[in-house]
Amino acid sequence: MKPKIVFVINYFYPDYASTGQLLTELCLHLQNDFQITVIASQPGYSGEANTEKRRFITDHLENIEIIRIRLPVVDKLNKWSRLRYIVTYFFYAIVAVLKQRNVDFIYTISQPPILGGLIGTIGKLLKRSKHIYNIQDFNPEQAKAVGFMQNARLMKLAQWVDTLNCKLADHIITVGQDMQETLLRRFANKKVTENTVINNWTNEQEIIPLSREHPQVQGFLEKHGLQNKFIVMYSGNLGLYYDLENLIKQTAAFRHLDNLAFVFIGEGAVKAKMQEYVAEHELSQVYFLPYQPKEDLVYSLNAAHVHLVVNQKGIKGVSVPSKIYGVMAAGKPVLGVLENGSEAYRLIRESNCGLLVEPHSYEEVVRSVLAFYEWDREELEACGMRGRAYLEQYLRRELSLERYRELLLSLKIS
């Protein structure tokens, strides 16, 4: 009989959240070796309305059973709204876990903060199963970095709880070398839970380099009035952890360049604030677009000349922006606004696929954009393709998926 894994992962197909897409691909890859049940929220990451009245509904994706939880609508800028959403998810996710039978593994991720791991700890103790804890973001460190949590006592308690989750887990997976270093610091030189670094990924067979003359890339450009523009693009979550509310202000330095456009694709907590700034300062070269359908992502990514990959100061060792993999797969140059030594910084430096700037160095951001703008087409293409070559050698999707599969099978054997 196949071992049973219960994934408790909040976002899952068809949600656009990067973790939802990654974990969907992982579950599909594992479904022939494991019996898989996924416990996730009902779709709504991009703000879609949900009229479902039942608390739990059961769905399927190929051989995967999905238990979807109805949750309250969340205002990501309102702490109490976020707290209500998180607590509701936490409670009903535990209810769903406890209803499961013959569970070999409970697989949780670090979302929602702290409580994602705690679901696994409670499930392990009550279901007598192994807990695999996949840390995509370290909290409360991430919340502290952006000023979302400032109460010192609450910070200390939250970190104690999440460190306890780490200590009680059977195996921890981090998604970057710098994050593994954070894990080791958490244990303060004491015995550390067995852990593995497995990079996130993109599907490099779907996201491929395309010429801007490609018909569907041209179609994207024409649809949004971006023909004959030099495009600096950010594609992903417009959230709290990227300093986008300050980076957007730097676009004013390019008013005089009619053929340069900044394109922000996605949704998130700071989008409205960014749009307000652009409207107030009449910045006509800034465009906001919704998330693109997954099947069209290859065309939107290839429409850009340069991609922004950014993190807020203090995020080193706490989180890895997954968008770096899609940009490298598309063979586009990167402007990385990242801390020296962070995982994405390391990938850009080792592959030589872009320019690097420290967070909050806004004048240097402006200079770097202008430098890219002055490069000729051959320089831009060569820079981006170095990233693609690096990804094909070290970061292929199949490599990461197989590492997960081999790890989980070895844990069952042990």
Summarize pLDDT for 241-297 with one digit per residue, the tens: 899 999 999 999 999 999 999 999 999 989 999 999 999 999 999 999 999 998 999
Q: What is the CATH number of the domain that holds 272?
A: 3.40.50.2000
Query: Which of 81, 86, 75 has the alpha carbon at shortest distance from 113?
Result: 86
Global pTM value = 0.91
List the structure tokens of 188.
Answer: 């303060």
Residue 190 lies in a domain: yes
Residue 207 lies in a domain: no
pLDDT tens digits for 67-111? 999 998 877 667 788 889 989 999 999 999 999 999 999 999 999
Are 239 and 192 members of one domain?
Answer: no
Are 89 and 237 members of one domain?
Answer: no
Residue 206 lies in a domain: no
Are 277 and 356 members of one domain?
Answer: yes
Are 222 and 184 members of one domain?
Answer: no
Residue 352 lies in a domain: yes
pLDDT tens digits for 142-190? 888 877 777 888 889 999 999 999 999 999 999 999 999 999 999 987 8
**How many folded domains does the chain comprise?**
2
CA dist 136 and 122 (Å) reads: 20
Are 400 and 382 members of one domain?
Answer: no
Report the pLDDT value the prediction gives residue 210, as an integer from 0 to 100: 98
334 phi and psi, to 5 degrees?
-120, 135
3-state secondary structure of 359: coil
- Contact in structure between 334 and 315 (CB atoms under 8 Å): no
Expressed as residue numbers, the domain containing 93 is 4-200+396-413
CA dist 318 and 175 (Å) reads: 10
Buried b (16+ CB within 10 A) or exposed e, 49-74: eeeeeeeeeeeebeebebbbbbbeeb
CA dist 368 and 382 (Å) reads: 17
Report the pLDDT value the prediction gives residue 49, as an integer from 0 to 100: 54
Residue 221 lies in a domain: yes
In 33-104 the beta strands, taken as DSSP E runs, fall at 35-41, 56-61, 64-69
Are 301 and 409 members of one domain?
Answer: no
Residue 250 DSSP code: G
Are 187 and 251 members of one domain?
Answer: no
Are 402 and 306 members of one domain?
Answer: no
Report the pLDDT value the prediction gives residue 82, as an integer from 0 to 100: 81
Buried b (16+ CB within 10 A) or exposed e, 78-105: eeeebebbbebbbebbbebbeebeebbb
Residue 294 DSSP code: G
Instruction: Please say if the pLDDT value at position 46 is more than 50.
Output: no
